[in-house]
Amino acid sequence: MTAASSDSPKRPFDSSLADSSPPAKLQRTSGSDPAPSGNTDGAPGGGEAAGEESKAMAAVRNPRAQRYLVAVEYVGTRFSGSQQQPNQRTVVGVLEDAGVHALSNVCHVDVERISKRKPGEVLPPHEPGVVKRAVNHFLQKNEGDIMVTDVHCVAPDFHARYRALERTYHYRLLSGPEPPSVFEKNSAWHIPEDLDIDAMKANSPMRTLDELTVTEVFPFMFFPSSLERSGMELSDGSLVYSRTRDLESSGKRVEGSCTSGEKLESDEGREFGKRLRHRCFVVTARARSFLYHQVRLMVGLLKSVGSGNLTTADVERILNAKAVTAAPAMAPACGLYLANVKYDLSV
């Protein structure tokens, strides 16, 4: 199995489904794909040499196996990475960068379907839906923090890493003095200070990326009351997040919503047992490939700008230095999500 996204080129893994009887069992195939897995906020996405390597390996693969492109989502908290490692639970070991989550990471896997009744007899490949259900059957028997979300049949030389056209990452930050909820502590980076979103937008170190944006969004643990909904609901029933109600209830001045000058709620007037809400920011980065830890380094830079520790001149100096040592500490892995890997599956 080779993934579209990984932190370092460790040993790869191939797995197979057995026969069609539900649910099919998983087996290792005899052949393996020694290509590196690609990048999760990690290594570059390959090139001509990598493409030639992929073609060369295709010639030695089992011609009776069907190659599938597999999309997986997982909570990265309890994983030690994506590639197999001795005595460690990894994404590939049960099916990236330790602690990084995925809304849609992608790998390819070669599966040869062998008859149970007649050993050695090769049967037609499983339909993608059968593969998805069978793999998830076994994954959910464990911790249940990883799941196959999509499966697609591809050509024998299709490579999940080298055929990727674009990768999108999201990074979640929670801003506010109160400690994060137990539901949030492993899913976002908590920043005690209030962040200046306007300064972060103005100093976005985009340069080589197709997109690098900062947006304020609904907090994850946000269950609005009927009164709060009345101030957010549009005519079509959808909600537009506004912190106006929060500020009104805390007795603060209200001139708008989601502005960088607003402070978070105080304890004054707060209902007993009700937590103060954090502001939630999402940094979105999109490009064909990323350098090692690039997204986390950029988020660390943006956080320093938003908290007032770096100026525009500092950002320019750091970017021009082109050295990791010039940048502030990178953001932790817990807030990073691989959101999407884009392919052209029409060819």
17 and 106 Cβ atoms separated by less than 8 Å: no
In 3D space, the residue among 69, 77, 51, 99 whose CA is nearest the CA of residue 3 turns out to be 69
Cα separation of 24 and 15, whole Å?
12
List of residues 6+ apart from 147 with CB closer than 8 A: 72, 73, 74, 136, 139, 140
Query: DSSP letter at 335?
Result: G
Phi, psi torsion values for 17, nearest 5 degrees: -90, 145
| 3-state SS class at 14 | coil
Token pair 């009744």 is at which residue? 117
Cα separation of 81 and 37, whole Å?
12
Query: DSSP letter at 180?
Result: P
20 and 66 Cβ atoms separated by less than 8 Å: no
Which residues are known to be catalytic? 97
